[in-house]
C-alpha cells in the first residue's frame, strides 16, 4: 500500500501501463489506484508541483485510454463497478464508459456506407459459392467451407449491432487487440471478411473437385462404375478445365457402355490434352464400335501412327489392331492384313 502521494501516483501510473490485460481486473486495478490518489489528496497529502504535473499527465493517459478500457471491460461491467463503489456522484474516472461513448459519437457516419457495401458483397459471395458447390454435392469440404464463410460474415455483421460490437471488442481484447468496431475499424473488418470469403470462394471449388476426382478413382478401381461416373461428373462441373477428371470420366462412361457420352468425353479430353494418345485410340475404337464411322476412326489412328515414337510401349498393338479392323470394315483388305500382321 503506497504511503504518500508520490508513491500513490506511481502505483496508479504502473497500473495504467499494464493495460490491456488478460481480463477486466486490470482495469479495476487502475480505477482503485486512482481512488487511492484522490484519497491521499483528501487526507491532506502535500502535493508538489512535480506530483501535480505527473498526476495530470497520467490522468490524460487514462482519458485517452477510455475507448480501449471500455472495449476491454465493457460498458455494463464499468457501470456495475461504479454503482458498487460510487453509487452517488462518483469521480470522473469511474465514468470512462460514458467518455468512450461520447468519443465515439463523433465518428463520421459515412464510414457505414463502405462497411455495409463490403458486408453485402460478402453475402453475395456466399450465395455464389453455394450455387457453384451445388454441382459438387454435399460433403465435408463443402459444409466446412460454406460454414466458415458464413461465420466470417456474421462476425462482420455483428459490428453493426451494439451487443455484437461489445462481444467483438471483448474477443479481440483477449488476444491483445484493442479495437472499437466503429468508423474505419468496422470498414477494415468488413473488408477483411470480404477478402477471406473471396479466397474461400476461389479455392473451395478446386479443392472439392480434386476430392471428387479422388473418390472417382477409388470407385473406378473397385469397379463401382456408376459411383465413379457421378464423382467425375461433379469434379468437371466444379472445375471445367480439370484434364485428368475429363479423361477419367471418359473411361468411366466407356466402362459403363455409355458410348455416346464416352465419345464426347474423349473428344473434350483431347482438346484439353492433345498428347493424350490413349484417348485418341479409345475414341477411334468407339468410332468403329458405336458410330460405325470408320474413316473418322482411321483419321485418329493415322495421327497415332505418325507419332509411334511417342506412344506408350503397349499402345502400338491396339493402334494397328484397330486400324486393321477399320480397314477391314471399309473393304481395304490388303491394308487391313498389313495392319493386323504388324499388330
**According to the model, what pLDDT value does residue 247 have?**
95
Q: How far apart are CA 205 and CA 13, in angstroms?
A: 54
Residues found in the chain: 343
Q: Which of 13 and 111 is assigned the larger pLDDT?
A: 13
Residues 6+ apart with CB under 8 A from 159: 115, 165, 168, 181, 182, 186, 189, 190
Exposed, middle or buried by CB within 10 Å (0-12, 13-18, 19+), for 328? middle
pLDDT surpassing 80 at residue 330: yes
What is the model's pTM?
0.58
Residue closest to 148 by CA, chosen among 188, 182, 211, 198: 198
pLDDT surpassing 90 at residue 248: yes
**According to the model, what pLDDT value does residue 249 have?**
95
Residue closest to 228 by CA, chosen among 251, 204, 205: 251
What's the pLDDT tens digit per position in 59-77? 888 888 887 788 778 778 8
Locate cell 468496431: which residue? 181
pLDDT surpassing 70 at residue 98: no
Which stretch, 74-83, 88-97, 98-107, 134-143, has highest mean pLDDT? 74-83
Mean pLDDT of 214-226: 94
pLDDT surpassing 60 at residue 177: no
Q: Which of 109 and 70 is assigned the larger pLDDT?
A: 70
Q: How far apart are CA 265 and CA 76, in angstroms?
A: 65
Residues 6+ apart with CB under 8 A from 343: 316, 317, 318, 320, 321, 324
> Which three cell numbers mark 212?
471428387
pLDDT tier at 282, thresholds 50, 70, 90: very high
Neighbours of 334 (CB within 10 A): 8
Assess contact for 5 and 47: CB atoms under 8 A.
yes
Q: How far apart are CA 307 and CA 278, in angstroms?
A: 12
Q: How far apart are CA 282 and CA 277, in angstroms?
A: 9
Per-chain mean pLDDT for the chain: 81
Q: How far apart are CA 317 and CA 170, in angstroms?
A: 72
Instruction: Return the half-sphere exposure (C-beta side, CA atoms, 13 A cut-off) of residue 188.
Output: 7
What's the pLDDT tens digit per position in 113-134? 787 787 778 777 777 777 777 7
pLDDT tier at 109, thresholds 50, 70, 90: low
Neighbours of 301 (CB within 10 A): 28
Q: How far apart are CA 78 and CA 85, in angstroms?
A: 11
pLDDT tier at 242, thresholds 50, 70, 90: very high
* DSSP string computed for 51-109: HHHHHHHHHHHHHHTHHHHHHHH-HHHHHHHHHHH-SSS--GGGGHHHHHHHHHTTS-G
Q: How far apart are CA 52 and CA 45, in angstroms?
A: 12
pLDDT surpassing 80 at residue 237: yes
pLDDT tier at 97, thresholds 50, 70, 90: low
pLDDT tier at 161, thresholds 50, 70, 90: low
Peptide bond into 302 cis (omega under 30): no
**According to the model, what pLDDT value does residue 203 have?**
83
pLDDT surpassing 90 at residue 246: yes
pLDDT surpassing 60 at residue 164: no
How many degrees, rounded to 5, is the angle at CA 305 between CA 251 and CA 259? Answer: 25
Mean pLDDT of 137-156: 70
Mean pLDDT of 201-210: 86
Residues 6+ apart with CB under 8 A from 195: none
Residues 6+ apart with CB under 8 A from 158: 164, 165, 167, 168
pLDDT tier at 218, thresholds 50, 70, 90: very high
Q: Which of 79 and 155 is assigned the larger pLDDT?
A: 79
Amino acid at each position: 500500500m503506497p504511503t504518500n502521494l508520490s508513491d500513490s501516483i506511481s502505483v496508479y501510473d504502473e497500473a495504467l501501463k499494464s493495460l490491456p490485460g488478460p481480463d477486466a481486473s486490470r482495469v479495476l486495478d487502475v480505477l482503485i489506484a486512482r481512488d487511492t490518489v484522490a484519497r491521499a489528496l483528501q487526507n491532506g497529502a502535500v502535493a508538489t508541483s512535480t506530483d501535480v504535473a505527473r498526476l495530470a499527465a497520467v490522468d490524460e493517459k487514462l482519458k485517452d485510454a477510455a475507448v480501449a478500457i471500455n472495449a476491454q471491460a465493457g460498458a455494463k461491467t464499468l457501470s456495475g463497478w461504479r454503482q458498487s463503489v460510487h453509487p452517488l456522484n462518483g469521480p470522473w474516472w469511474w465514468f470512462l464508459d460514458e467518455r468512450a461513448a461520447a468519443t465515439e459519437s463523433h465518428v463520421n457516419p459515412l464510414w457505414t456506407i463502405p462497411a455495409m457495401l463490403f458486408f453485402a458483397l460478402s453475402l453475395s459471395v456466399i450465395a455464389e459459392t453455394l450455387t457453384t458447390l451445388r454441382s459438387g454435392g454435399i460433403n465435408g469440404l463443402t459444409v466446412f467451407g460454406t460454414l466458415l464463410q458464413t461465420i466470417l460474415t456474421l462476425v462482420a455483421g455483428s459490428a453493426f449491432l451494439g451487443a455484437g460490437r461489445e462481444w467483438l471488442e471483448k474477443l479481440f481484447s483477449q488476444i491483445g487487440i484493442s479495437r472499437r468496431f466503429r468508423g474505419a475499424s468496422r470498414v477494415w473488418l468488413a473488408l477483411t471478411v470480404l477478402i477471406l470469403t473471396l479466397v474461400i470462394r476461389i479455392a473451395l471449388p478446386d479443392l472439392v473437385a480434386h476430392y471428387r476426382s479422388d473418390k472417382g478413382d477409388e470407385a473406378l478401381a473397385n469397379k463401382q462404375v456408376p459411383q465413379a461416373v457421378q464423382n467425375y461428373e461433379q469434379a468437371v462441373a466444379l472445375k471445367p478445365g480439370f484434364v485428368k477428371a475429363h479423361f477419367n470420366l471418359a473411361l468411366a462412361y466407356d466402362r459403363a457402355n455409355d458410348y455416346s457420352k464416352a465419345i464426347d468425353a474423349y473428344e473434350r479430353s483431347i482438346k484439353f490434352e492433345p498428347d493424350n494418345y490413349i484417348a485418341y485410340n479409345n475414341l477411334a475404337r468407339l468410332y468403329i464400335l458405336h458410330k460405325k464411322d470408320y474413316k473418322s476412326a482411321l483419321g485418329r489412328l493415322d495421327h497415332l501412327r505418325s507419332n509411334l515414337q511417342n506412344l506408350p510401349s503397349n499402345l502400338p498393338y491396339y493402334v494397328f489392331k484397330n486400324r486393321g479392323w477399320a480397314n477391314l470394315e471399309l473393304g481395304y483388305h490388303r491394308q487391313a492384313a498389313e495392319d493386323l500382321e504388324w499388330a
